[in-house]
Chains A and B, each alone.
Chain A
Amino acid sequence: MHIPDGFVSIPVAAVTYVASGGSLAYAVRRTNEELGEKQIPLMGVMGAFIFAAQMLNFPVAGGTSGHLIGAALATILLGPWAGMLIMASVLVVQALIFQDGGLIALGANVFNMGVVACLVSHYAFTWLKRLLGEGTQRPVISSFVAAWASVIVAAIACALELAISGTSALAVVLPAMTLVHVLIGVGEGLITVAVLVFLAATRRDLLELRPG
């Protein structure tokens, strides 16, 4: 879902840069308050894993592929604020070194796949955890749904930016983006759950680092 330059207008790029910048500044402050010594290496490992996993496009229906965003995984393990910083690290490196996502559109990409995806993951995960109560399947369901929802809402944010920019009509781009990401989000949910199950089996303590 990396937006290239040319898809978003200058006003949309400017507004999303400011929104992302403000969110990241707040995320820096919160991370500064919350992050303990044990979480530091996990930030590096999460960033590294998410970058690598984002390269693995998996096929979905009709000659279309998708790849992990990773915001839900980072958020479930480290909370939304450290998660946002991890996602921003990944997206900045992708834009600056790999020309994946435009430089003018970087604010929009950080907003969609960092700010929006992490906050949706966070609220969906915590809300579902409370709703479902105790049970062994509970974290699996909460993680899957949070990851799935984060992709869909990020895609909706992307579609709105494209529509406001005049790149495509809202009635065209919104349903198209939502529909394809309903499918891609299933992949996000499956990968997120697989990694969490792997961690639960190997390093359960890493699942308990999440602040708050």
Chain B
Amino acid sequence: MKQKWWIAGLLIALAVTLLSPLASAWPDGLERVAEDKGFIEKAQEAPYEVIPDYVFPGVGNEAVATILAGVVGTLVVFGLAYGLGVLLRRRETA
């Protein structure tokens, strides 16, 4: 049980994505400055798109699409960071 605490941690992270449809849609700090100071139009489109704007493509309900995007990203980052930890862990015995 003691070793399985990370499952609870991952579930909390996934639960946080359930709140993502409630996030403020207002521009963030950098976007606000870019709009106010007149350089927002310099932003270029991405050369390709996978899950743009945290909305999973092809899902009709936007809240569901946002949560789905969040779940996918949360799991991918979990795997990546956990994998880095496994690769880089200190080896006690050679």
| A interface, over-half SS | helix
Which residues of B does A touch, CB under 8 Å?
Answer: 5-6, 9-10, 12-14, 16-17, 19-20, 22-30, 32-34, 36-37, 39, 42-44, 46-47, 49-54, 66, 69-70, 72-82, 84-86, 88-90
CB distance A64 to B50 under 8 Å?
no
A-B Cβ contacts below 8 A, count: 206
CA distance A94 to B59 in the complex (A): 20
Sampled A-B contacts (30; CB under 8 Å): A1-B28, A4-B44, A6-B44, A36-B90, A37-B89, A41-B5, A44-B81, A44-B85, A51-B77, A52-B20, A53-B16, A55-B17, A55-B23, A56-B20, A57-B26, A65-B26, A85-B84, A89-B77, A89-B80, A90-B77, A93-B80, A98-B50, A99-B53, A167-B39, A168-B37, A172-B37, A177-B29, A177-B33, A181-B29, A206-B5
The interface bits of chain A over 100-128 (1 if a CB of B lies within 8 angstroms of the residue's CB, else 0) are 10110000000000000000000000000
